[in-house]
Amino acid sequence: MPKHVHFQGDADSLLPAGSSSVQSAAAPLPRRRCCRPARVACVVVALLGAAVAVAGPLLIGSMIDSQFDAMMTIDSPDAVRFAGWSDTTVESDRELWMYVWNVTNPDAFLGGAKLAVEEHGPFVYTKQMVKLDPTWDADADTVTYRLWTRTTFNASRTRELTNGTYDADNATVFTTVDLLNWGALPRTGPSGWLLLNLKKPERERMFNFSTTARALKNGYCDNPLLCFPGLFPDQPTEADAPNGTYTVRVRGGDDRSQVAQYTRWSGGSWCPACTAEASELHVQCPWGNAPIEADAGADAVTATMPGYCPGGDGPDADPCCGGSTDIWREAGWHNGSTPPSIDVDAAPPNTVMGTDGNQFARGNLSTIVLFVDQLVRHVVFELVPAALSNKGIALSRYELPLYQPANLNASRFPYNANYYMYETYNAMQNATIVQQGAPVYFTHPHFLGAEDAAAQRIDGIRPDPERHQVYLGIESTSGLNCLSRNRLQVNVQVHPVKFTRQQTKLPFEWFKHIMPGETYAPIAWFDDRGDINEASAARLRGGLQLSSLGYVGTLVGGATVSGIALVAALFLR
């Protein structure tokens, strides 16, 4: 059997039996110096890796910023996104969904019952918006253009979304409150209105029994002198585009938040009498020089009708009396009121500001501002903590608050006296002044936010925040609007009517049996929908993924190299 090598337990025990530790002490091994250069090299590599981990993401971020700035800056027809900026069909799919409110109890309503309505639709229209004749002013950092909006009825989509109920927008006849007749009053005056309606039975003075979705949307005429312009009129050709112009900032100078912000706006088809000078909006009084004259014997309802001029300068005075002055003034014009503190951006509603909604400043902003043509004012959208995505792109969701200043009556937001919002519901916009005096009022669909007040007079409304809330989905890195649901309901104010002999040679009283006070009868509501198309989404996803990989790659790669080099330096001793 082999002999075992025995080790001792003292210092000599590390040597085999018979060896001497003295010999080891007498001949020490030389120190190895060959690894010192490698160790230094590892430390240098570790420092370089750390520098890449720290500076790389910053450099990549700067490059990404430059690339997205170039992509979002439309400074000439040669700009990267000029085609998509000038024609919405290049980058997005847009549809306009229209729902019509059909009145089911016209005679009972005239007898004092609630107004009963039912929703029909959607009638679907494809939508295209084209910027015409863009003109750049490099010194002012602006571009000015006209806007052509074309809508085309889509029978197949309508059939699909209504489960086959509708495939045409001019075949089904609905009963609605006659917006044309009620809108004629401020234009014709009491005597003219009496002549227009004298031979009509009362139910035909109140209602239109033969309207269609197409007529409500695009307009119609009762006679050559009396026409309804339509709730969302089509512009079939470029020649039909309004002459109103839009002027927006291109680069924003040193303030990137100003990119795409309006500096000037004129109303075009939405408000032909509106103009904007030096960012302040003005509109001529729609009642001309012949408003309804004051009458000491007028009842309370007549005294609140648009165009009625009691005179004086109190909160109930019509700022348009006489028709000789613009209604929008500088801060504090109305009865000595001071700028309110509840407006998010501290700007009067007559200030032209915000974007057209297609593009915003880059970054995760707490609020964004949009100028809404139909409302003829800017509104503030607020960022909400809700997950939102579209075609694989993460989006920030911005909602239009139901009770933002634009929707509050003048008792809570004094500037809204400019829009005659004295006794309206909160969450309702008085559009009388921008609709040539017609008693038109805008709300969210189904009176969302004002449903309690509306339900006291109307049966058939079913507000649903998911279907009726207004919101936008913004990709924060680019500032692009990748998803939009702009929803708006059009209502007409109706009430008992009484004119005295002082106002008309033949005094008359109509609709005296309907519910006292004002009823806001819904006519139709629209869902203006926009979604980034798949081709544009793929390009945007690619750019975002590349930037993310570059950012993460430099951070992780630099940190990994630095870590490995440090570990190697520690072992090379």
The tens digit of pLDDT for each residue in 214-261 reads: 999 999 887 777 888 889 999 999 999 988 788 888 887 667 777 888
Secondary structure (3-state) at 354: coil
Triad 350, 354, 356: Cα angle to 5°: 115
d(CA 400, CA 385): 14
Closest C-alpha to 256, from 69, 7, 397: 69
- In angstroms, how far is CA 61 from the centroid of its own chain? 29
| 263 phi, psi to nearest 5 deg | -115, -30
Token pair, residue 529, equals 């929908």
Angle (CA) 84-90-96 rounded to 5° is 110
Task: Give how far Cα 571 sits from Cα of 29, 33, 39, 43, 47, Å.
Answer: 20, 14, 8, 12, 17
What is the number of other CB atoms lying within 10 angstroms of the CB of residue 365? Answer: 18
> CB-hemisphere CA count at 13 Å for 459?
10
Residue by residue, pLDDT tens for the chain (573 residues) are 444 444 444 444 434 444 444 444 445 555 555 566 766 666 566 666 556 555 655 565 566 666 667 777 888 999 988 999 999 999 999 999 999 999 999 999 999 999 999 999 999 999 999 999 999 999 988 999 999 999 999 999 999 999 999 999 999 999 999 998 988 877 777 778 888 888 899 999 999 999 999 999 999 887 777 888 889 999 999 999 988 788 888 887 667 777 888 877 776 655 655 655 545 555 555 544 444 444 444 444 444 444 444 443 433 444 444 333 333 333 333 333 333 343 434 455 556 778 888 888 888 888 888 888 877 777 889 999 988 999 999 999 999 988 877 777 777 776 676 666 766 777 888 787 667 667 888 999 999 998 888 999 999 999 999 999 999 999 988 889 999 999 999 999 898 888 777 666 777 789 999 999 889 999 999 999 999 999 999 988 887 776 555 445 555 555 564 555 555 555 555
Running DSSP on this structure, what letter comes out for residue 327?
S
- Sign of the Cα pseudo-torsion (209, 210, 212, 215, in order): negative
> Any bridge partners for residue 151, and if so which?
127
What is the radius of gyration, based on Cα positions, of the chain? 35
Amino acid type, 111:
G
36-72 and 534-571 helices, crossing angle to 10°:
160
Q: Which residue has the tokens 């000015």?
A: 144
pTM for the complete prediction? 0.79
Residue 405, CB half-sphere, CA atoms under 13 Å: how many?
Answer: 23
What residues contact residue 94 under an 8 Å CB cut-off, 6+ apart?
88, 126, 127, 128, 129, 528, 529, 530, 531
Q: Could you give the count of Cα atoms lying within 13 Å of 32 in the half-sphere of its Cβ?
A: 6
